[in-house]
Amino acid sequence: MCSRCKPLVLLFLLSLTAFTVQAEPRKDPAAELIHLLDYIGVDYPGTVQDGRVINPDEYREQMEFAQRVPALIEQLPEGELRLELAALGQELIAAIGAKAPGGKVAGITERMQQKVIALTGTATAPRRPPSLARGAALYQAHCAACHGASGRGDGPAARKLEPPPSNFHDRERQFVRSLYGLYNTITLGVNGTGMRAFTELTSAERWALAFHVGSLPFTAEEIARGKALFEAGKLTDLIPNLGTLARLTPAQARQQAGEDGVALLAYLRRHPEVLGGGATGLNKAQVLLDKSLSAYEAGRVEDAYRIAVSAYLDGFEAVEAGLRNLDAKIVSEVERTMSAYRASIKAHASLDEVRARHAEVSQLLDEARELLTGTALTPAMTFASALVILLREGLEALLVLAAIIALLIKAERRDVLPWVHMGWVSALLLGGVTWWFSQYVVTISGASREVTEGVTALLATAILLYVGFWLHSKTHAKSWQRFLQEKIHGALQGRTLWALTGIAFLAVYREVFETVLFLEALNQQTSPGEGERMLWWGLLAGVGLLLVLAWILLKTSLRLPLRLFFNVNAFILFILAIVFTGHGIAALQEAGYIDARHLNLPTFDWVGFYPTVQTILGQALVITLIAGLFFWERYRNQHETA
């Protein structure tokens, strides 16, 4: 490999491992400000009653804290939101100075917190469901001495502290606290009190502790009622994910959905695992399947089909990678049965048949949920899964890039390599932008992802065929000599240059976003500590293997005789064109744009073989095209020789 290529290829391989990692906290102005506002919003209502100060010491403290707010706001990024925050900060100081009702002050602090989060993009939720068992153990080790073994503020050290430690069973006080507020308190501490910052704990440990403490105010009856609501699929919009769970207070849940909202929040705080990793996607898939069946029963066939497609793409597919690590067979069965369910809807099958298909899918989703709920992969499985994901997603792109780079080096056209590098670098950048938009700006639906993947794969197929035929055409000696005479000392044709750029772009872009999604899903099921470390080791091992493969491919290709060199690289591109055809058609089938008539054959997605009539016919067409053009090229060369 040329010296200029090595760092760029290494950058490409390392970039494939990129995924969201929650950074360890630091005392930045935004975090301090949110924490301070949360503290004021919770504590101020207990200092004033009917316009009179009932706790002078606490009141003075609240005024002191409020007067720190403007200085913290000044350290935030400039913009209209900061101006609004500054105005609200002055309103907060004035309200406390005027001994305003607690509800008014709490409302101001809540609005300010929302604006700070919007302005700075501060993360307000854990990246995966925390372990409450771990949180309980941490509580006994670090908190029980002050807050008491059961969290009632009656620990042996409590009598020495002023103000006294919080009673986590005090519903009036704790019902205005969010899990994120508790996390911030654990992270940053509270100045002037016995509550110190627990910076020695990891982020995952602080979240586990916050969830444990946040689950204490609720009764067993509330938790049981919340479980029944969740399993019945009720109030699904109230707390759809971990982010909402972390930010929603019990008081807000009550305001939005009454006592049912409080019960649901109580259950989810005690069992956050049902909102993370696999269970949330499976629950969403089941809810959408039920809606699809209801639409079909009402005679709305098109709506039923559209919702059934969403059940797979926006529900099940989000958990596919994690589930495949536990049981690949059940993944194939769910995909097959969901496809059959969609096909029965599209064929206007009898209601009994559609219901039977629906029941079959529901049973498999229940089995998958049992596998995923509360499941964390072992460190060894995490390592293997990360390694396989990186190899699986990176190998196809690597083969394409290695073939093109070897060709240019063989032709002594290293000056053209920047065109190839422009292709894959722009693919990495666009893949990163696409992922960022899907995380922070808009929600990219499953159908949109599949259409993008399908169209990209089929475009890549077309360009692979073009470059492959171009390579094959040079296997004849006269063709190669003519190419050298015309191109070595001149510029390659514009369409050839853009073809090289295009195939590098498409081959890489198709893999980048999918790799990130798979790693995010895997990360949801990785156990903290050793599991996280093994995930990184798996990725590093994958990068190492891909680098070794890249070196072997280039060295081996460059040492081949000229005719064999072109034949081997053309063969690789033709095979990849067939694989990409399978991937592209399968993706468009999943998005509902192409029908899927399934065959009783196994799936081999590594090589792009999906057992449907449409994918097999598409690949057969590409094979026929390759064979036909091969014989045409051979016929033409024979006549040129003659």
123-166 pLDDT, tens digit each: 677 766 787 878 888 899 999 999 999 999 998 988 888 888 98
> How much is the pLDDT for 350?
93
Give the helix/strand (H/E) hosting 42. Answer: helix 29-43
528 band by pLDDT with thresholds 50, 70 and 90: low
6 band by pLDDT with thresholds 50, 70 and 90: very low
What is the per-residue pLDDT across 33-89, written as a single tens digit (0 to 9) for each?
888 888 888 888 888 888 888 888 888 888 888 899 999 999 888 888 889 889 999
Q: Name 200's Cβ contacts closer than 8 Å, sequence gap at least 6.
A: none
Higher pLDDT, 320 or 67: 67
Mean pLDDT of 228-233: 84
Phi then psi for 366, rounded to 5 degrees?
-65, -45
Reply yes or no on whether the pLDDT at 319 is more than 50. yes
Task: Find out whether 475 and 156 touch, Cβ atoms under 8 Å.
Answer: no
**What is the greatest pairwise CA distance in the chain?**
108
In a 13 Å sphere around the CA of 12, the CA atoms on its Cβ side amount to 29
Residue 387 buriedness (CB in 10 A; 0-12 / 13-18 / 19+): buried
Mean pLDDT of 355-373: 81
564 band by pLDDT with thresholds 50, 70 and 90: low
561-569, Cβ contacts within 8 angstroms, sequence gap of 24 or more: 562/410, 562/480, 563/475, 563/477, 565/406, 565/410, 566/471, 566/472, 566/474, 566/475, 566/480, 567/472, 567/475, 569/403, 569/406, 569/407, 569/471
How much is the CA Rg of the chain, to the nearest whole Å?
Answer: 30
pTM: 0.47
Q: Give the 3-state secondary structure of residue 50.
A: coil
Residue type, 341: Y
> How much is the pLDDT for 94?
92
Task: Report the C-alpha gap between 584 and 625 in whole angstroms.
Answer: 17
Q: Which of 278-287, 321-330, 367-376 has the lowest mean pLDDT?
A: 367-376
Tally: H helices and E strands in the chain: 26, 2
In a 13 Å sphere around the CA of 45, the CA atoms on its Cβ side amount to 17
In a 13 Å sphere around the CA of 424, the CA atoms on its Cβ side amount to 28
What is the per-residue pLDDT across 167-194, written as a single tens digit (0 to 9) for each?
999 998 899 889 988 998 898 888 778 8
Closest CA to 307 of 337, 336, 338: 338
Reply yes or no on whether the pLDDT at 450 is more than 80. no
17 band by pLDDT with thresholds 50, 70 and 90: very low
Q: What's the fold here for domain 277-372?
A: Four Helix Bundle (Hemerythrin (Met), subunit A) (1.20.120)
Estimate the crossing angle of helix 530-558 against helix 5-15, to 10 degrees: 140
Reply yes or no on whether the pLDDT at 554 is more than 80. no
Cβ neighbours around 107 below 10 Å, total: 14
Give the helix/strand (H/E) hosting 64. Answer: helix 56-74
- DSSP string of 187-232? HH--TTSS----TTS-HHHHHHHHHHHHTTTS-HHHHHHHHHHHHT
Higher pLDDT, 320 or 110: 110
91 band by pLDDT with thresholds 50, 70 and 90: very high
What is the per-residue pLDDT across 464-497, written as a single tens digit (0 to 9) for each?
676 556 555 554 444 544 544 444 334 455 556 6
Mean per-residue pLDDT over the chain, rounded: 76
Task: Find out whether 526 and 518 touch, Cβ atoms under 8 Å.
Answer: no
11 band by pLDDT with thresholds 50, 70 and 90: very low
Mean pLDDT of 337-341: 88
367 band by pLDDT with thresholds 50, 70 and 90: confident
Reply yes or no on whether the pLDDT at 90 is more than 80. yes
- Specify the residue for token string 């497609």: 309
Residue boundaries of the structural domains of the chain: 29-120, 132-275, 277-372, 377-641
Reply yes or no on whether the pLDDT at 544 is more than 80. yes
CA angle 521, 526, 529 (to 5 degrees): 145
Task: Report the C-alpha gap between 615 and 339 in whole angstroms.
Answer: 14
Residue 614 buriedness (CB in 10 A; 0-12 / 13-18 / 19+): middle
Mean pLDDT of 334-358: 89
DSSP state of 241: S
Task: Find out whether 351 and 297 touch, Cβ atoms under 8 Å.
Answer: yes
